[in-house]
Homo-oligomer: A and B are copies of this chain.
Amino acid sequence: MIKISVQKSDFDAGLEISKLSELGGGAVSSFVGQVRGDKQLQALELEYYPAMTEKALREIAKQATGKWPIHGLVIIHRVGRMAIGDQIVLTGVCSDHRHAAISACSFLMDQLKTVAPFWKKEIMSDGVEKWVDERQSDIDAAQNWRN
């Protein structure tokens, strides 16, 4: 089971974990990223490249299934405007082995951050808008899987 979704609507992390649990692997790892209430942040605007984003996520999923024995995985990424505390992204993996599930789930996030065409704009409480810069730590994390 591979589920990839780029969507405006919110998702139910518990439901997605339940679906992964039904695959019978015994080990389900998941990660949820939310809008963190830093500084004067009021909202986040998520832009994407419709023709490419889902394709890029499918490629990441394919790499994960090549690296680890996986029963199923899910990647859900929201787009559009999100408020503080809102869920942005979910990655989840079901495997027979806990380290495979945890590593693959972490891999999906690290790759997604560096190769999936999404862009975040911060909207501050004073109305100022700022496109988020890429972070070296994200680049390093993605690179580490190649070593």
Contact = CB atoms under 8 A, between A and B. Distances in A.
Interface of A: 12-15, 17-18, 21-22, 24-37, 84-85, 87, 96, 98-99, 101-102, 105-106, 109, 141
A24 B14 CA distance: 18
16 contacts: A13-B14, A14-B18, A17-B30, A21-B85, A24-B37, A26-B33, A27-B32, A27-B33, A29-B30, A29-B31, A29-B105, A30-B31, A30-B32, A99-B141, A102-B102, A102-B109
Task: State the majority secondary structure of interface residues on A.
Answer: mixed
A98 B25 contact: no
Contacts of A106: 99, 102
A102 B87 CA distance: 17
B14 A32 contact: no
Nearest to A101: B31
> Which 4 interchain pairs have the tightest Cβ spacing?
A14-B14, A26-B36, A28-B32, A26-B34
Contact of A17 (B13, B33, B35, B109): B13
